[in-house]
């Protein structure tokens, strides 16, 4: 273990000294030319011989949605094992993970009743993890409309009401992921804060820029000691209409019914495939996406695309006769959507292996932003890696990839940041303008993924993994 750490610290010092020299000369070197040829061969193969689109069809149409704990998630694990074996990974195994089991079941109805007796149907779906409404009668109450959690503090007019959180994603943010993150607190914590104020239920405006009648589900939370109240997503059109109705008629009522339910935890797992490195087999480069999805739609963009990006990377690198220096770990993570237990378990085992002096997890990459045209990569790593990362930017110019910036790499690989040796972490960045049109909805289906865009994403991921494997300094 001590020797391992010494090697690691020595490598870090060498990296700091050499990166500036390396980055300025890289584009003129023979190494650059060789890398450029390899990247071209990756793109050529996926665009002519790619199997990624048919693999996505098999996953989404053959299995469908894959919520953690479900039978479909079990089927997806078998599917992943079989496909990774087909592409001749050296080792394929399932890393056991205990995951939650919850289902929205088959009822999610809502309506608004105006004071004069007029009624309008509302489009809702349960938020992931919500309790059901009372079994015998629908939940019916007057409402209160807010945009921010802190608007509930100190109020005495919330008791016995349903809270509508009606904050839209910020339209001026070009980065739709940032807009999503800025509005997500109402979905995650809305039921907690509303219950503290005495509410009996919550409706949360769907997290999308689209104006439509399609509700977007997603994870929500409860807090120990705080009453658990039913929580549903409401479509953006219905949220706007309901808020306007409330302005005109503060005494209106909302009625909704859901039969969602939590079940006992079950054992499933991360599907893991290894391609053993030829020079440094104890140095691990992880790449992956999450196998689970919400139980509406087919999880095609979120994250079927990331799963087939990962598997196609294995096929592509073998197709061009690449020989990895380090061990490449292809991981189909379980339970990203409602707990991230797969990512946490993977990092826990990585820490244990490092402490025993067996392996060093030097890099990780994730695809979990959809199957749209790739625009570049986010880097989530320490400062000494930045120049190395930026030196690769020119290699991707012919493929219209220009985003090489610091940013979030991904939820599944996020727990690896806590390792004693923090890995070089990269996230694939596709064009995100339409991602939240489909995210967590019944419309996240195979037909809404474009074949060529999906293939280009796989080529970008495979090319980045190749560069990381070739050029990241060794720990020896």
The per-residue pLDDT for range 434-461, each reduced to its tens digit, is: 999 999 999 999 999 999 999 999 999 9
419 & 302 share domain: yes
The residue with greater pLDDT, 230 or 7, is 230
Q: In the chain, what percentage of residues exceed pLDDT 90?
A: 91
Is 55 a domain residue?
A: yes
92 & 154 share domain: no
- Phi first, then psi: give them for residue 196, nearest 5 degrees: -60, -35
Residue 101 is predicted with a pLDDT of 97
Q: How many domains does the chain fold into?
A: 2
19 pLDDT more than 70: no
Span 253-285, pLDDT tens digits: 999 999 999 999 999 999 999 999 999 999 999
Domain final position from 259, 279, 297:
259
Span 334-366, pLDDT tens digits: 999 999 999 999 999 999 999 999 999 999 999
311 & 194 share domain: no
Cβ–Cβ < 8 Å for 389, 379: yes
Is 369 a domain residue?
A: yes
Residue 141 is predicted with a pLDDT of 98
Is 325 a domain residue?
A: yes
Using alpha carbons, select from 35, 36, 57, 39 the residue that is nearest to residue 454. Answer: 57
355 & 223 share domain: no
355 & 399 share domain: yes
Span 81-96, pLDDT tens digits: 999 999 999 999 999 9
Decide: residue 269, CB within 10 A, 0-12 exposed, 13-18 middle, 19+ buried: buried
35 & 146 share domain: no
167 & 230 share domain: yes
CATH number, residue 279: 3.40.630.10
Owning domain of residue 283:
2-101+264-471
CATH number, residue 221: 3.50.30.30
Is 161 a domain residue?
A: yes
Q: pLDDT category, 420, cuts 50, 70, 90?
A: confident
232 & 295 share domain: no
Q: In the chain, what percentage of residues exceed pLDDT 70?
A: 94
28 pLDDT more than 70: no
Span 173-221, pLDDT tens digits: 999 999 999 999 999 999 999 999 999 999 999 999 999 999 999 999 9
Domain final position from 238, 259, 280:
259
Residue 17 is predicted with a pLDDT of 44
395 & 333 share domain: yes
Is 476 a domain residue?
A: no
Is 440 a domain residue?
A: yes
420 & 315 share domain: yes
Residue 383 is predicted with a pLDDT of 87
350 & 444 share domain: yes
394 & 429 share domain: yes
Residues whose CB is less than 8 angstroms from the CB of residue 456 and which lie 6 or more positions away in sequence, other chains included: 43, 46, 47, 373, 374, 399
Is 143 a domain residue?
A: yes
Is 368 a domain residue?
A: yes
CB atoms within 10 A of CB 322: 18
Domain final position from 228, 259, 290:
259
Q: pLDDT category, 4, cuts 50, 70, 90?
A: very low
């Amino acid at each position: 273990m001590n020797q391992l750490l010494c090697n690691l610290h020595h490598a870090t010092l060498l990296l700091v000294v050499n990166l500036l020299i390396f980055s300025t000369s890289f584009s003129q070197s023979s190494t650059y030319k060789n890398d450029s040829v390899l990247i071209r061969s990756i793109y050529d193969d996926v665009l002519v011989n790619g199997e990624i689109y048919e693999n996505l069809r098999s996953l989404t149409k053959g299995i469908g949605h894959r919520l953690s704990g479900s039978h479909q998630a079990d089927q997806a694990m078998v599917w992943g094992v079989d496909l990774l074996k087909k592409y001749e990974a050296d080792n394929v195994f399932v890393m056991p993970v205990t995951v939650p089991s919850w289902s929205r079941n088959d009822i999610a109805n809502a309506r608004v009743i105006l004071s004069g007796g007029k009624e309008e149907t509302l489009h809702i779906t349960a938020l992931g993890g919500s309790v059901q409404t009372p079994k015998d009668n629908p939940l019916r109450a007057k409402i209160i409309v807010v945009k921010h959690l802190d608007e509930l503090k100190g109020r005495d007019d919330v008791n016995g009401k349903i809270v509508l959180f009606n904050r839209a994603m910020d339209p001026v943010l070009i980065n739709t992921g940032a807009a999503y993150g800025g509005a997500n607190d109402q979905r995650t914590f809305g039921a907690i804060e509303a219950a503290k104020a005495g509410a009996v239920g919550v409706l949360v405006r769907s997290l999308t820029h689209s104006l439509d009648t399609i509700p977007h589900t997603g994870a929500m939370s409860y807090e120990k000691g705080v009453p658990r109240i039913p929580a549903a997503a409401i479509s953006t059109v219905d949220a706007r209409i309901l808020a306007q109705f409330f302005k005109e008629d503060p005494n209106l009522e909302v009625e909704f019914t859901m039969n969602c339910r939590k079940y006992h935890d079950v054992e499933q797992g991360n599907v893991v495939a290894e391609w053993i490195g030829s020079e440094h087999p104890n140095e691990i480069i992880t790449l992956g996406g999450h196998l689970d999805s919400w139980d509406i739609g087919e999880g095609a963009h979120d994250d079927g695309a990331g799963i087939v990006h990962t598997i196609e990377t294995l096929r592509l690198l073998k197709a061009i006769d690449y020989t990895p220096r380090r061990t490449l770990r292809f991981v189909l993570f379980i339970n990203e959507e409602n707990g991230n237990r797969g990512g946490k378990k993977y990092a826990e085992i990585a820490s244990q292996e490092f402490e025993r002096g067996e392996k060093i997890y030097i890099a990780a990459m994730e695809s979990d932003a959809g199957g749209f045209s790739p625009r570049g990569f986010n880097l989530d790593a320490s400062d000494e890696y930045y120049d190395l990362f930026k030196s690769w930017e020119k290699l991707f110019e012919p493929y219209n990839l220009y985003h090489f910036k610091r940013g979030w790499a991904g939820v599944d690989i996020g727990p690896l940041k806590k390792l004693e040796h923090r890995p070089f972490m990269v996230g694939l960045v596709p064009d995100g303008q339409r991602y939240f049109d489909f995210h967590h909805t019944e419309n996240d289906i195979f037909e809404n993924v474009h074949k060529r865009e999906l293939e280009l994403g796989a080529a970008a991921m495979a090319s980045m993994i190749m560069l990381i494997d070739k050029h990241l300094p060794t720990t020896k």
